[in-house]
Structure 1
């Protein structure tokens, strides 16, 4: 669809949004007007118009894409959307999302869509939202969760979007309206909430979805342990694109068709495909691959080189309307190297500032000023640098009064580059803090990028600590117990989980009966600050005496999953195989028992040690758990120690 005349969009949108308003909101407004008139109050036409305007603006915002793949060209989402497939974790069903489908909500009115960076969670939300309006399925409300805070909840965000006159009266009106149902709330980007706001916003979402349970909810996020707080949401994952879908997407990006066919031809070459297949599984990487190839018709095999090629394409982008020889002057007057230096520290400051990716103008100027000051020798006005980020090097977008990274993965690329190139004597400390942070799943893309940039440093710093910690753990833990298969299993699990047993009966298939009360008991334990608690259900509770096994996931588990995906040889996956006989373990009701290596623990008696292991296996039976192979770990550790020694002995560097 040609978007050369954006004004014509109103003729497409307004008839659709008017039908939605008349179907779902007008009857409620008329009912409220009767009630208010009896009480001497009035809801005037102005408020009705606000809702119609909101739906019009929301449709336009979601329908038109401005992404790095298209530089400054605006395109319709419908024109470049590839139907994504969702897989339900619980039912194992798959759904192809090309239009809004009631099947998505047939088992629950609350769904959670998770997957890794660039899989298209936000695009999928927008597609569902647009289709919801086009098919007249309900009143969509988009809540970008990064905008919520201790001082601004969901209702306040809705009011800000509607911008009403009488906020006090209208807040109660909105609450009443929401409680009556027919809304579909798209709660986008849980992983983008700033860390210092996370606990409050999580509580706000839980309370809101409980009170407004006559509505439907779609929550999206990268995978995080903190999502266990939403045990009553039905969980879906986005399936990776296959190569044919990726090729179809490349063709959609290309107006002439020539460039995409050349790229596809190169990708199909047998020597290329194995090295590049990772880029073809996620819509974001497919779009960035097209951008990189458009700039320089080579295919980068390393992930960090890939991102650098994308940046070069954006920095060197030409204004085609003025001929190929014309290159936009930068408002900042900076060359590419100085521009990159500021971007690297800026990307890192966003990371340490609670993973912030969206800013007000004042916030953006402040953090860029700090980045410029850190560089020391670069003189540039923050306002000019911001102009470049929006206009001449379009890695930022402007959404109303908010300035935002065009995609979080670009910020993560610059942050990882800062750690490698600019962090100097703090490099090891920063890298270890990120990799072993209790919420290190937030930083997996940075870890991945750093491993691509500096594989030797990654091994000598991160893997060295991991393997040293594991070796010490295997020597010290359970040392008063005789060697056995059961002891080895317990040690391997204790390295990646803090485990508990608790006698707490409930129906495992009843979605309303979530394990939140069990989690609250654990949170109240002295010294337990982490909120990342997970727990599966089992087919037959009576077989294990109605005992639950909530677990706190340690950073080591996240790292092992990452390393297994990278084919590190010392990581292996074991399938938990519980016994089929009934396990009779007498535990006090609603009392958490910590699984430790204390010899006098009730769980570690001669009769109970294997029973405890078996109950744990019941709760992990669906998983192939990543663990470290002792023998291979010892070999890997020796190799890393030799690498560290050779690094310190590199005297040839001084032989001039």
Structure 2
């Protein structure tokens, strides 16, 4: 069906039904005004409805970049969560239109917030329900003194100046309009509070008009009369259903769906959570016939697929990037863009912020005199689809791509020592930093192990050599954490099985960065030699434990206990006396020994590798001399 056919579908009957509906709500006033030609609802409405219907009936997808796709053919109904209740899309729609529950649709870019509003708008026209849908994007609001209501009215009048303010006011009072307000988070900071306040007042002043507002996740504590519906990611069924609907080679879709078992979905679900990411996963599978197990290979293949899709949209001919850069050059700019934003912990940006980082990246790679930031921005968003854009707001298609390209930059750049590069990443929490380190190690294991882990182990082992572990166990532990977690499990003889492990770092630790790095090294030892949690039986009864607790109460930060008394736990500070009395010295000895073993293992492998390389080079030189002689 063509755009023209779709846009005309049902509009005439919708307008007639709508006029009839208003007449039923206030027959005397409405009919009188209609006869006087003062309130001709059939003027202005068709033009506005038709223009918006065209926008809502079609969408562009990653798979079909150069031509629109009919929304109904690919639309997959969504699920939402309000408090602890999971609601289907129809339940949310009914809540808004029938129960007049004012609703905020909360979700990240690419999750389908705007598409959901377009679907509602189109359904209101197709089903000819008795509401006049008003679709308004807050990014279009003027920066002057106009109210939100004025801006909405002007957006209607744009299509026909015959629609009057009197009509608009009447419709508001009688609850004839269904407001679809898109992009609350796109309003400037200076206007944010005023717009929020105005939306809330409008819902109170016109209680019979349905209101639904979309926004990225935020605190909505002041929106007392609004429900907050959190848009949920695709589950397994939704993902399969969406892949079935999209316009793609049927044979390849079938192969992908056969590959996509529930177990595979669970393993890769972060990249199947919405239509955009699911499409990317399909393209990657189509190109390579599998989804790589190693994360960095998957990201690399995704990037290559996105580049290929950009070229494929022009047939077999190479399609130049708008920036006129090579693919390699654009990737390099993006790597520096990711490096700067990752270290700043920035994952979403305004237009000004994006351009600032692009300018900085261009200067670093000496391309600032060759191409414009606007063209680079266009390529990031449209040519390779690594950034998503909502008006003047941008974010990564998935945050892990930012991590991947930063890790790739670190591995590729050998100008600076790896130790210095990684140690200077001091603004991240442990889990983020560890993920980055794991990505780097995955890319080049030998480089990471010899240029980073080995150097850290050497420093630690040299320090531990001077420590009397039996009398100074705290000096071992304090290199990794601020506390110890001790778990006690009852045995049949009323003694305890003792379990000790390092407690996660305090965010307030004065030496947080150093301890994080050391803790990461310890986790590597744990991977090689097994669990570093040291379990052993001790000859301490429950009463003995209680005595130790009471004696060193000031050293205990937190205690835990199960209802049936089979488990007790405590988090203790690194106080020497309590560590010795609880026999934590054995755990300290264990850590020291394992770190030393790991260091010697790496050193032995590295020495052997260097020896082999030297021998190969020497033999080659010798052979060359023989040939030349």
TM-score (norm 2): 0.57
* Alignment RMSD (CA, Å): 5.7
Q: Please point out which of 177, 188, 195 is paired with 2:182.
A: 188
Match of 1:530 in 2: none
Deviation at 1:251, TM superposition (A): 1.6
Deviation at 1:259, TM superposition (A): 1.0
Q: Does 1:125 align with 2:117?
A: yes
- Per-residue CA distance 1:360-418 (angstroms, 9 max, x = gap): xx99878755553454345213454456457644567999xx5775xx44274565457
SS at match of 2:291: coil
Match of 2:202 in 1: 208
Match of 2:362 in 1: 372
Q: Does 1:230 align with 2:223?
A: yes
Equivalent-residue separation in structure 2 for 1:447 and 1:175 (angstroms): 56
Q: Does 1:111 align with 2:108?
A: no
Equivalent-residue separation in structure 1 for 2:101 and 2:181 (angstroms): 13
Q: Is the 2:57–2:70 Cα contact (8 Å) retained in structure 1?
A: yes
Match of 1:289 in 2: 281
Q: Is the 1:141–1:185 Cα contact (8 Å) retained in structure 2?
A: yes
Match of 2:236 in 1: 243
Q: Is the 1:292–1:310 Cα contact (8 Å) retained in structure 2?
A: yes
Deviation at 1:248, TM superposition (A): 2.0
Q: Does 1:328 align with 2:319?
A: yes
Equivalent-residue separation in structure 1 for 2:38 and 2:434 (angstroms): 54
> What is the 5 A alignment of 1:337-486?
337-343=328-334, 368-369=358-359, 371-373=361-363, 375-378=365-368, 379-385=370-376, 388=379, 392-393=383-384, 408-410=395-397, 412=399, 415-416=402-403, 428-431=425-428, 453=439
Q: Is the 1:143–1:154 Cα contact (8 Å) retained in structure 2?
A: no
**Structure 1 residues without counterparts, runs of 5 or longer:** 436-445, 461-466, 475-494, 497-568, 570-628
Q: Is the 1:303–1:449 Cα contact (8 Å) retained in structure 2?
A: no
- Per-residue CA distance 1:510-547 (angstroms, 9 max, x = gap): xxxxxxxxxxxxxxxxxxxxxxxxxxxxxxxxxxxxxx
> What is the 5 A alignment of 1:590-609?
none
SS at match of 2:180: strand
Equivalent-residue separation in structure 1 for 2:20 and 2:480 (angstroms): 61
Indicate how the Cα distance of structure 1 residues 88 and 369 shifts in structure 2: closer, same or farther if over 3 A, else same: closer
Equivalent-residue separation in structure 2 for 1:645 and 1:57 (angstroms): 72
Deviation at 1:260, TM superposition (A): 0.9
Equivalent-residue separation in structure 2 for 1:29 and 1:261 (angstroms): 57
SS at match of 2:212: strand
Q: Is the 1:64–1:77 Cα contact (8 Å) retained in structure 2?
A: yes
Equivalent-residue separation in structure 1 for 2:50 and 2:360 (angstroms): 39
Aligned length: 468
Equivalent-residue separation in structure 1 for 2:95 and 2:55 (angstroms): 26
Match of 2:7 in 1: 10
SS at match of 1:245: helix
Match of 1:154 in 2: 148
> What is the 5 A alignment of 1:77-96?
77-89=71-83, 92=85, 94-96=87-89
Equivalent-residue separation in structure 1 for 2:251 and 2:164 (angstroms): 54
- Per-residue CA distance 1:269-314 (angstroms, 9 max, x = gap): 96x4542244445444323312332344331456676555444322
- Per-residue CA distance 1:217-249 (angstroms, 9 max, x = gap): 12334443x122223222334455442332221
Deviation at 1:205, TM superposition (A): 2.9
Deviation at 1:131, TM superposition (A): 1.2
Equivalent-residue separation in structure 1 for 2:231 and 2:27 (angstroms): 38
SS at match of 1:133: helix
Equivalent-residue separation in structure 1 for 2:298 and 2:112 (angstroms): 19
Match of 1:58 in 2: 52
SS at match of 1:140: strand
Deviation at 1:654, TM superposition (A): 11
Q: Please point out which of 51, 57, 74 is paired with 2:68.
A: 74
Indicate how the Cα distance of structure 1 residues 353 and 428 shifts in structure 2: closer, same or farther if over 3 A, else same: closer
Equivalent-residue separation in structure 2 for 1:473 and 1:150 (angstroms): 55
SS at match of 1:235: strand
Q: Is the 2:284–2:302 Cα contact (8 Å) retained in structure 1?
A: yes
- Per-residue CA distance 1:598-652 (angstroms, 9 max, x = gap): xxxxxxxxxxxxxxxxxxxxxxxxxxxxxxx9659999x9999999999999999
Deviation at 1:264, TM superposition (A): 1.5
SS at match of 1:112: strand
Equivalent-residue separation in structure 2 for 1:176 and 1:641 (angstroms): 79
TM-score (norm 1): 0.55
- Per-residue CA distance 1:318-350 (angstroms, 9 max, x = gap): 665865x42212232212232134345667889
Q: Is the 2:181–2:214 Cα contact (8 Å) retained in structure 1?
A: yes
Q: Is the 2:380–2:386 Cα contact (8 Å) retained in structure 1?
A: yes
Match of 2:212 in 1: 218
Q: Is the 1:21–1:139 Cα contact (8 Å) retained in structure 2?
A: yes
Equivalent-residue separation in structure 2 for 1:127 and 1:292 (angstroms): 29
Q: Is the 1:66–1:75 Cα contact (8 Å) retained in structure 2?
A: yes
Q: Please point out which of 142, 149, 170 is paired with 2:135.
A: 142
SS at match of 1:18: helix
Equivalent-residue separation in structure 2 for 1:158 and 1:313 (angstroms): 41
Deviating more after overlay: 129-138 vs 288-297: 288-297
